[in-house]
Copies of this chain bind each other. A is one copy, B any other.
């Protein structure tokens, strides 16, 4: 715990602290890992199996949780596509260095494209939504892109309180729905994961979820050499073996993942270990970036 925190606690507790002038025994700050190790079961929430899917690549699984409260129609569309087996046999088609990795149908023209399930609805743009009805744990730390940032049930967000709008931020590992020129041209059949600096995409496209495990299977792929990082030859793409909703995997085989809740004292304590770095670090930035403190994910103990 840093000196800043020790002082704050002394002021708050009015007990157990050295009075002015007394020597203060150096108290070793807790590390982020130590805060997590001391957490209680109730500090974690399960991934929603009805809204999470695993995408199997030759290198292993990538697990995505969908943000059904931020992009409900896209989430429903993606779930329908997963359940129809639409993604099975498709591919990673684009890796744009320091930006995004995108997957979908590698077919070069519409006539060879894989058919989508019958009755797939048109999906509207879901770039933002009302803040009303959501509990936002605000970060006090200054953000360049928005006046208000924080977390809603684990999701990194930015908000405009005057306009009552909130949106998911394009942090590392966040997943969005590719679109063409028209803002409502996405339906979730081509998705991308953020592998670099992409906050400039905020409010320009529908963000649909987060890679909670396996982002390194998407970030370490060879970069595409075509425009925008698209691969230029079919043999450069990485095949998607299959995708399944967690809810559709037998319970005994299903990955049991949990995310740190963002509305607890443990969360606040963990944030402080990130805000005031200790150990090897010698400079205290007294700052965290909303994208630098995405809630940790663990396998259920």
Contacts and interface: CB of A to CB of B under 8 A. Distances in A.
Interface in A160-189: 172, 181, 183
A172 B98 contact: yes
Interface string A264-301: 00000000000001001111010101011000000000
Contacts of A141: 144
Contacts of A95: 220
Interface stretch (A14-22, A61-69, A112-120, A200-208): A200-208
Number of copies: 2
A181 B279 CA distance: 9
A97 interface: yes
A240 interface: no
A277 B277 CA distance: 35
A238 interface: no
Contact of A196 (B172, B202, B223, B287): B172
A248 interface: no
A37 B127 CA distance: 33
Contacts of A200: 277, 281, 285, 292
Given A172-B98, A204-B282, A283-B204, A289 B222 contact: no
Interface in A182-241: 183, 196-197, 199-200, 202-204, 215-216, 219-223
A50 interface: no
Nearest to A277: B200
A287 B220 contact: no
Contacts of A277: 200, 204
Given A183-B282, A220-B221, A145 B204 contact: no
A197 B220 contact: no
A129 interface: no
Contact of A143 (B144, B196, B215): B144
B199 A289 contact: yes
A142 B2 CA distance: 27
A144 B97 CA distance: 24
B283 A215 contact: no
A102 B219 CA distance: 17
Given A141-B144, A199-B289, 16 more contacts: A95-B220, A97-B215, A97-B216, A97-B219, A144-B144, A144-B287, A145-B287, A181-B280, A196-B196, A200-B285, A203-B283, A203-B285, A204-B281, A204-B282, A219-B219, A220-B220
22 contacts: A95-B220, A97-B216, A127-B283, A144-B144, A144-B289, A145-B289, A172-B196, A172-B197, A181-B280, A183-B282, A196-B196, A197-B292, A199-B285, A200-B281, A203-B285, A204-B277, A204-B280, A204-B281, A204-B283, A219-B223, A220-B220, A220-B221
